[in-house]
Each structure stands twice: as structure tokens, then as C-alpha cells.
A = this chain, B = another copy of it.
Amino acid sequence: MSDERLLSERNPLPTAIPERLRAQLNFLVEVDKLKTVLRQSPLAAVERRENDAEHCWHLAMMVPVLAEYSDEPIDVGRTIQLVVVHDLIEIYAGDTPLYDAEAGHDQEARERAAADRLFPLLPADQAEHFRALWDEFEQRRTPEARFAKAMDRLQPFLLNWMARGGTWQAPGVTVDDVRRRKSVIGDASSSLWSAAREMIDEGVRRGWMRPSA
């Protein structure tokens, strides 16, 4: 996915900066790579694919706007933190398209290896903190993590709607696949899932998704 060298090694910071802060700044330079990880989703505003940093920012906008639809009370600030960090590991693991079963195969192992490499760039206490946020998102055991995951599914769904198809039209994908993968939205919000189902039904009527196989 990316070369082994840290970005910061190309132009090291002055050693007069305290070591802890230097490690943090080096990490913050390294995560610039997230802006180069392309997703399958087409943007709504211009014709190109979205990158992970743009996607994460979009989720961070969605959380406070849509938080009122969470079926369980959530801490908005914490939920935003989850979406901001949730794709960091893709800097080393790459993006795994939702409807790509083959790439999905070793996804968990690849992403765990990436996390083991990325977070320890931070001082130990912060490495642990950010790793815990990422684990929380992945495991979906808290209301915040469930809502964050729902945003992660709803955002490309909105972009596909705007593209009148987008990745819904990937080879072999039918409305059943879309419904199954997007039902995660319903684990966090019955009203957002209800809206998404309206859009799925309408998408099938308009021919933007293949009907059931």
C-alpha cells in the first residue's frame, strides 16, 4: 500500500522540540497519507472518487446533524472522535470496498496489522487511547460506536443516490446485498433505516439497483 518510510523522515523536525511532542507531530504528518487512500464512492459535487480523509470529515459533519435520530442517547463529541479515527488504519491496510467479498476475506487481519504499526507511533498512553477508540468502533458495543457505524454506511449510500447508482451497480451486486449491508443503520436508528429503505425501494423502481437475484 505505501512505502515503509515515515513521511516525517523526509524532513525531520528540529530536535530542540521535546521528544513527546515530536512523536505526536510526526504521527500527525504521517496521517496526511489518509488523503491519498481512494474509496469507491463518487463525490456528489464533482466527478471523481472520494478519499478517506474527505469521507471521515463528512461523517464528522453527519454525526451532530443526525444525532437526534439515534435510538439510544449518544455523546456527540465522543461519536465524532470515533468517526474521525475509524479509517486511519487504511493508511497501511488500504480501503476494502463494501461489496468486494474477496478483499473482505483477510480484511480483519490486514487492518489489525496496520493498527499495530500505526498507533505505536504515538506516545504509549495515546497509542492505547486511539487504539481503544478504533476497537470500540469496530466492535460496535457502545451506542456511540453503533451510531458511528450507521453514519459510515449512510454516507456512501447518500453519494450513491446522488450518482443514481454508483457502487450499487458494481458487478453482481443486487438490492439484497445493499439491504443486507445497509441494515447496520437500523442497529442505531430506526428512523434513518426507514428513510434508507425508502431510498432503496425508489432506487430499484428507477433501475439504479438490480432487483433480487
Contacts and interface: CB of A to CB of B under 8 A. Distances in A.
Interface of A: 7-8, 10-11, 13-14, 16-18, 21, 24-25, 27-29, 31-36, 43-46, 50-51, 53-54, 56-58, 60-62, 64-66, 69, 75-78, 80-81, 84-85, 122, 126, 129-130, 158-159, 161-162, 164, 191-192, 195, 198-199, 202
Residue with the highest number of chain B CB atoms closer than 10 Å, among A33, A50, A54: A54
Residue with the highest number of chain B CB atoms closer than 10 Å, among A11, A28, A85, A192: A28
B36 A46 contact: yes
B28 A158 contact: yes
Contacts of A66: 24, 28
A74 to B, nearest CB: 11
A53 to B, nearest CB: 4
Which secondary structure characterizes the binding site on chain A?
helix
A198 B14 contact: yes
A204 to B, nearest CB: 12
A45 B24 contact: no
A85 B62 CA distance: 11
B43 A161 contact: no
B54 A43 contact: no
14 contacts: A17-B195, A29-B162, A32-B43, A32-B162, A35-B54, A53-B58, A54-B57, A56-B57, A56-B60, A64-B84, A64-B129, A76-B77, A77-B78, A77-B80
Contacts of A10: 162
A28 B199 contact: no
A115 to B, nearest CB: 15
Contact of A11 (B17, B53, B75, B164): B164
